[in-house]
Amino acid sequence: GQNIDQPTEMTATEGAIVQINCTYQTSGFNGLFWYQQHAGEAPTFLSYNVLDGLEEKGRFSSFLSRSKGYSYLLLKELQMKDSASYLCAPKGDSNYQLIWGAGTKLIIKP
Amino acid sequence: DTEVTQTPKHLVMGMTNKKSLKCEQHMGHRAMYWYKQKAKKPPELMFVYSYEKLSINESVPSRFSPECPNSSLLNLHLHALQPEDSALYLCASSQSVSGMAGELFFGEGSRLTVL
């Protein structure tokens, strides 16, 4: 079967670093996306990993280990605006469909 | 500013009404999608159009009817909906359906309430 696991909620302090983990089991693998979604808004693209390793993009980095079925999103220098849900979405055999995790709600405190 | 435009942003309809949701993109993307999202849940794929042809229908009830008039436009026709169909309906597009080019660009969504 296909399964995505990520924590339901995390809390962090402004200016700190937080790591959001995602483990997945999919039928085949064609890359993994991370999206950010603020409450009441549409998801926006953050990162894409298809090979093992770390992809850095400004304050956000994403890591992938295909052999472990594991990814994480690392957010540095947290800002209040980073309070949002973060959705892990690997792509399995079907090229059309992302398999969405339930999302991790990140709460940033001053 | 989002490059995928959805109208209307909010829609309230009765169970006997017929209405349509509209989506437009001018990025030259060849794949367009309809997703349904309930509160605190991830998006659920409903339909995928690739090169203006319906490629995926995720066993969606026939009261939802998609239409792709051309490569820039995607409609979702609604008829005889149920209160449980109330949700945020998201349109998305991607350059293609594979790899990095499969990055989804979402519209702001149409929030539907069925009374």
Q: Check CB contact of A90 with chain B, cutoff 8 Å.
A: no
pLDDT given for residue B2 in this prediction: 54
Q: Quick one: pLDDT band at residue B100, thresholds 50, 70, 90?
A: low
Interface test with A, best of B45, B54, B55 (most A CBs within 10 A): B45
**Mean per-residue pLDDT, A80-106:** 90
Specify the higher pLDDT residue, A3 or A72.
Answer: A72
- pLDDT band, very low/low/confident/very high, at A32 (cuts 50, 70, 90): very high
Tens-digit pLDDT profile for residues B52-78: 999 888 889 999 999 999 989 999 999
Q: Alpha carbon of B73 to those of B21, B77, B98: distances in Å?
A: 11, 13, 21
Using DSSP, state whether B2 is helix, strand or coil: coil
* Spatial distance between the Cα atoms of A12 and A108, rounded to a whole number of angstroms: 5
pLDDT tens for residues A35-87? Answer: 999 998 899 999 999 999 999 999 999 999 999 999 999 999 999 999 999 99
Residue A95 pLDDT grade (very low, low, confident, very high; cuts 50, 70, 90): low
Matching residue, tokens 């790899």: B99
pLDDT at B99: 62
With cut-offs at 50, 70 and 90, classify the pLDDT of residue B101: low
Sequence-ordered list of residues with C-beta below 8 angstroms from that of A81, at least 6 positions apart, any chain: none
Distance in angstroms (rounded) separating the CA atoms of residues B104 and B67: 19
Given a cut of 70, is residue B1 above it in pLDDT? no
Interchain proximity A97–B50, CB inside 8 Å: no
> Is it the case that residue A1 has pLDDT exceeding 90?
no
pLDDT at A18 over 70: yes
Percent of chain A whose predicted confidence (pLDDT) is above 70: 96
**Which residue in B2, B42, B98 is closest to A101 by CB distance?**
B42
**Interface check A45 vs B, CB under 8 A:** yes
Is residue A94 over pLDDT 80? no
